[in-house]
Amino acid sequence: MFVQIENVRIFYEVNGDGMPVVYVHGNFASSKWFEEIMKIDGIKTYALDLPNFGNSDRIDSISIEVYADYLWKFIESLKISRPILVGHSLGGAVTLKCVV
């Protein structure tokens, strides 16, 4: 699936119903990193490809702050309420920037 954020198409996978969990991948990875843990009873999981990764569009300006902004806009555009954020490596830095 895709969502449009500031003229950038962001690819994501979604699975299940229940409490929302958003997975954010690390550098040189994609949403595929979380394929094996997308199906959890009682949890609605989302795994996105940050810009410049996987199936998402490319952008010129990259930083932890820019990626955090895209992550928040992704959450807002899909109206995900009070998600748990799970980040691996680069994704951990991005999720931390979102909550600090």
**Strand 2-5, strand 8-15: pairing:** antiparallel
Grade residue 96 by pLDDT with cuts at 50, 70 and 90: very high
Q: Which fold has domain 2-99?
A: Rossmann fold (3.40.50)
Residue 47: how many other CB atoms lie within 10 Å: 25
Residue 72: how many other CB atoms lie within 10 Å: 14
pLDDT tens digits, 45-69: 999 999 999 999 999 999 999 999 9
Where do the structural domains in the chain lie, given as residue ranges?
Answer: 2-99
Q: What is the mean pLDDT of the chain?
A: 97
